[in-house]
């Protein structure tokens, strides 16, 4: 009798536990539409995962019926909202559904992780949005799993698409795994802001088109000897070493054979070299000749260059290895991927093209150089018309206006057209490992050999997974 | 006689039905949340692409076994289990035997050893991290003593630390199980043994260990399974790419998950489960044989 009661009790407990499980599950499901309806502010036109099957059924319906392209981004982006509005006005039978995460500063990291995991899962399950902003997503893994369309195939089939209208130096070099799986709608320039006057005064010639890290080290020594400033570059040894490793990636990492050679004499010598730079004052935060910088837009170029200590700051390309072709560095921004499982590929591609076109409003002050050359040129005209750009309120300029200088803009053109080395939007795992582990070396706590061995171990593990 | 047999059968039938009814919720839950996803996972491990990939046979397994990192992870996990489990068993058994006697403050001590089970791991890991970090407390002490500091989590010491953590976390639970086992051994056996003139050691091996064997089997089983679960602590302590020595199977799987390599992930999970099932069924068989011998 007693055991029977216990049995009944136990099963009730189980039922309760299960009910609790499914209950919380249901609550989660219930929460989602509430959340998306919260996003559904006027103008943003945000749909939810719930409506997604519509896009699927849209393709099977006869012509003339409304089709839906779902476009998922992490941030809420005015630019995309604007694009949606304009595009829908021109194409009444297409609806662009923008999906994004409502996040705030405190939750960015957690939301970012959630965004990546849910998008990854949806993509792997063959659902997922039609278009995705890839900036915060692991594009390499997507390509490996065949989740994205190679946009080159869309370009080939598209008679209207004129390559010449775009910055082909960016298009050609934004490829991943042999194809253009993400369309960079815009990009940033990465380089050094250098004090041209002070460098000239020290009697040093800098040919930034083709300078290598060895040249940089040499120039650094010369500047230290003959120049008046206390440092050459404003950075930390860890960041500089990481930059150098990224540039010499192929000589340390053999991705194909899954071999790392961080325990080599070359890497140890590189570590020692950077440490010596620190000790000699080449790297330092006193008054340097160069600052590593990222130029976000033409307007940003005008002001940022003035925000450093000197009046005549020039943009210099970052040094690179002797083996690579000379040219500057860029970082893609607003890279759009097209879901390989999408039912509305043609429509989605058309929308991508629209976002790249001259129909999009562009301000030379907004973040990102546009991929479209004509849009860029128009922006420069506008910038020249403005005559001056207001500096950042909380920057060194304290909101003071900076005059737009024609000669400077001309120089910018060279860099925009000459940027051919992509810098990944997110740092690579190996770069992260190198940066983390060398901290103890640069602070003098560990020997170069010990640190190199650790990096070698972890990099090998990473490569062999 | 015949009538009785019939009744028995009917009763059995009724009981089976009731049992099945009562079991259904848990079976459904287990099926939906564990068994079915796992079976799907096994299927995935034989295909070349997530959802609707082509069947590729054992290719994923071959690739998995070719992966140096997987072999390293498997080796580390085995080593950890081989070192951690015996150590845990010996310490918790010793502790249980100690606390089985009348001891001053016995109840307080018993509670103290169970606390690690209840404390959230994350809060504890934080303290361990501060303690063992390269610039942490322990190294500060070493420095003050004028000794070379050791990078505890980035050297072969790291395995020792993880073993320590594992023992600390599981010792209380095992101790309770052993205490229950010890208390079920009749006191007369010991008395008789003492009258017969058996020493302490003889009592330990002749009575305690023999009658504790069923408990021992269970505890070893649970400890082995828990040793595979030490990932959470290691991950919190040393991140996704820890030092070579403490790179466990679950690190491999976790990293595969984030690299979206579901094929390798499911293949690794299937292999691991296969090994655990083999181990467990082997142990259960030994136990059954042992019990038959006892009877």
pTM (2 d.p.): 0.76
Whose tokens are 């061995």? That residue is A453
The 3-state DSSP class for residue B197 equals coil
Domain ranges of chain A: 1-35, 49-185+335-370, 189-331+373-463
Residue A385 is encoded by which pair of tokens?
A: 């018309």
Domain ranges of chain B: 68-294
Top-confidence residue, A135 or A39: A135
Q: If interface means Cβ-Cβ distance under 8 Å, which residues of chain A face chain B?
A: 7-8, 10-11, 14-15, 17-18, 21, 120, 124-126, 138, 141-142, 144-146, 258, 429, 433, 440, 445-446, 454, 457-458, 460-462, 464-465
CATH class given for the domain over A189-331+373-463: alpha beta
Q: Which residues are A388's β-sheet partners?
A: A403
Q: Please tell me the predicted confidence (pLDDT) of residue A394.
A: 67
Q: Which residues of A166-182 are buried (b: 16+ CB within 10 A; e: fewer)?
A: bbebbbebbbbeeebbb
Query: What does the pLDDT average to over A232-257?
Result: 86
**CA A286, CA B285: separation in Å to the nearest integer?**
73
Q: How far is CA B143 from CA A19, B138, B140, B153, in A?
A: 56, 9, 5, 17
- What superfamily in CATH does domain B68-294 come from? MetI-like (1.10.3720.10)
Q: Which residue of chain B comes nearest to A433, CA vs CA? A: B241
Q: Which residues are A419's β-sheet partners?
A: A328
* pLDDT at residue A74 is higher than 80: yes
Domains A49-185+335-370 and A189-331+373-463 share a fold: yes
H or E, element range at B194: helix B187-196
**CA B166, CA B234: separation in Å to the nearest integer?**
10
* pLDDT at residue A182 is higher than 50: yes
Whose tokens are 């009562």? That residue is B22
Name the residue facing B256 among A21, A124, A465 (closest C-beta).
Answer: A465
Average confidence score pLDDT of chain B: 87
Helix pair angle (B231-238, B249-258), 10° resolution: 70
CB A245 within 8 A of CB A354: no
Tell me the per-residue pLDDT of A395-443, one tens digit each, with 9 for 90 and over.
666 667 777 888 888 888 888 888 888 887 777 888 999 999 999 899 8
Q: Which residue of chain A comes nearest to B256, CA vs CA? A: A465
CB B64 within 8 A of CB B194: no
- What superfamily in CATH does domain A49-185+335-370 come from? Periplasmic binding protein-like II (3.40.190.10)
CA-based nearest residue to A349, from A339, A363, A364, A361: A339
* pLDDT at residue B282 is higher than 80: yes
The 3-state DSSP class for residue A132 equals strand
Q: Please tell me the predicted confidence (pLDDT) of residue A1.
A: 45
- For A2-16, B90-104, B169-183, which range has the lowest pLDDT when averaged over its residues? A2-16
CB B269 within 8 A of CB B46: no
């Amino acid at each position: 009798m007693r055991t029977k009661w216990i049995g009944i009790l136990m099963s009730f407990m189980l039922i309760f536990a299960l009910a609790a499980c499914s209950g919380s599950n249901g609550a989660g499901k219930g929460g989602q539409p509430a959340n998306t309806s919260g996003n559904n502010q006027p103008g943003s036109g945000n749909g939810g995962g719930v409506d997604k099957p519509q896009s699927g059924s849209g393709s099977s319906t006869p012509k003339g019926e409304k089709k839906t392209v779902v476009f998922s981004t992490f941030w809420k982006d005015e630019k995309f909202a604007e694009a949606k509005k304009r595009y829908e006005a021109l194409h009444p039978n297409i609806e662009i559904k923008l999906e994004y995460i409502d996040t705030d500063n405190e939750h960015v990291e957690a939301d970012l992780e959630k965004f990546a995991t849910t998008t990854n899962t949806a993509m792997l399950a063959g659902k997922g949005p039609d278009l995705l902003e890839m900036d915060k997503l692991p594009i390499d893994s997507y390509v490996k799993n065949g989740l994205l369309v190679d946009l080159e195939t869309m370009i080939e089939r598209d008679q209207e698409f004129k390559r010449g209208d775009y910055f082909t130096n960016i298009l050609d070099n934004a490829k991943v795994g042999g194809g253009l799986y993400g369309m960079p709608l815009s990009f940033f320039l990465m380089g050094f802001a250098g004090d041209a006057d002070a460098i000239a005064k020290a009697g040093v010639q800098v040919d930034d088109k083709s300078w290598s890290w060895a040249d940089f080290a040499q120039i650094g020594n010369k500047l230290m000897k003959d120049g008046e400033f206390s440092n050459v570059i404003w950075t930390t040894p860890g960041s500089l070493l990481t930059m150098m490793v990224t540039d010499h990636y192929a000589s340390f990492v053999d991705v194909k054979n899954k071999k790392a050679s961080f325990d080599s004499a070359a890497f140890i010598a590189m570590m020692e070299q950077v440490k010596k730079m620190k000790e000699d004052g080449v790297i330092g935060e006193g008054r340097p000749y160069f600052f590593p910088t990222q130029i976000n837009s033409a307007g940003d170029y005008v002001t940022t260059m003035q925000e450093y200590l000197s009046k005549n700051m020039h943009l210099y390309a970052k040094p690179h290895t002797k083996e690579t072709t000379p040219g500057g560095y860029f970082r893609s921004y607003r890279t759009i991927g097209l879901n390989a499982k999408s039912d509305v590929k043609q429509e989605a591609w058309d929308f991508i093209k629209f976002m790249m076109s001259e129909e999009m409003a562009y301000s030379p002050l907004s973040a990102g150089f546009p991929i479209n050359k004509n849009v860029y040129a128009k922006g420069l005209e506008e910038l020249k018309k403005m005559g001056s750009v207001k500096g950042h309120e909380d920057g060194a300029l304290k909101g003071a206006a900076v005059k737009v200088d024609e000669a400077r803009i001309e120089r910018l053109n060279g860099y925009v057209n000459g940027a051919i080395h992509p810098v990944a939007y997110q740092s690579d795992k190996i770069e992260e490992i190198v940066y983390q582990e060398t901290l103890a070396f640069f602070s003098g706590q560990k020997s170069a050999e010990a640190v190199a061995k650790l990096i070698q171990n972890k990099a090998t593990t990473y490569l062999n997974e | 006689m015949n009538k009785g047999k019939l009744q028995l059968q009917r009763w059995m039938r009724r009981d089976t039905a009731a049992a099945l009814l009562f079991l259904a919720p848990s079976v459904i839950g287990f099926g939906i949340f564990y068994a079915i996803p796992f079976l799907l996972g096994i299927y995935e491990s034989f295909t070349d692409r997530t959802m609707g990939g082509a069947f590729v046979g054992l290719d994923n397994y071959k690739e998995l076994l070719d992966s140096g990192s997987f072999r390293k992870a498997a080796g580390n996990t085995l080593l950890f289990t081989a070192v951690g489990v015996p150590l845990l068993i010996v310490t918790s058994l010793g502790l249980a035997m100690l606390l089985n006697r009348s001891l001053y403050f016995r109840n307080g001590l018993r509670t103290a050893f169970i606390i690690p089970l209840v404390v959230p791991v994350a809060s504890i890991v934080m303290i361990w991290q501060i303690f063992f970090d390269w610039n942490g407390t322990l190294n500060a002490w070493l420095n003050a003593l004028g000794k070379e500091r050791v990078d505890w989590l980035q050297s072969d010491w790291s395995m020792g630390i993880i073993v320590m953590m594992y023992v600390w976390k599981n010792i209380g639970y095992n101790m309770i199980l052993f205490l229950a086992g010890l208390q079920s051994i009749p006191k007369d056996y010991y008395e008789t043994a003492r009258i017969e003139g058996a020493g302490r050691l003889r009592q330990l091996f002749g009575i305690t260990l023999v009658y504790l064997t069923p408990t021992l089997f269970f505890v070893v089983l649970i400890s082995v399974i828990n040793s595979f679960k030490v990932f959470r602590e290691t991950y919190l302590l040393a991140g996704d790419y820890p030092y070579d020595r403490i790179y466990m199977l679950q690190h491999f799987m976790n990293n595969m998950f984030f690299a979206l390599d579901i094929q390798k992930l499911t293949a690794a999970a299937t292999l691991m489960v296969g090994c655990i099932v083999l181990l467990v069924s082997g142990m259960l068989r030994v136990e059954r044989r042992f019990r038959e011998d006892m009877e």
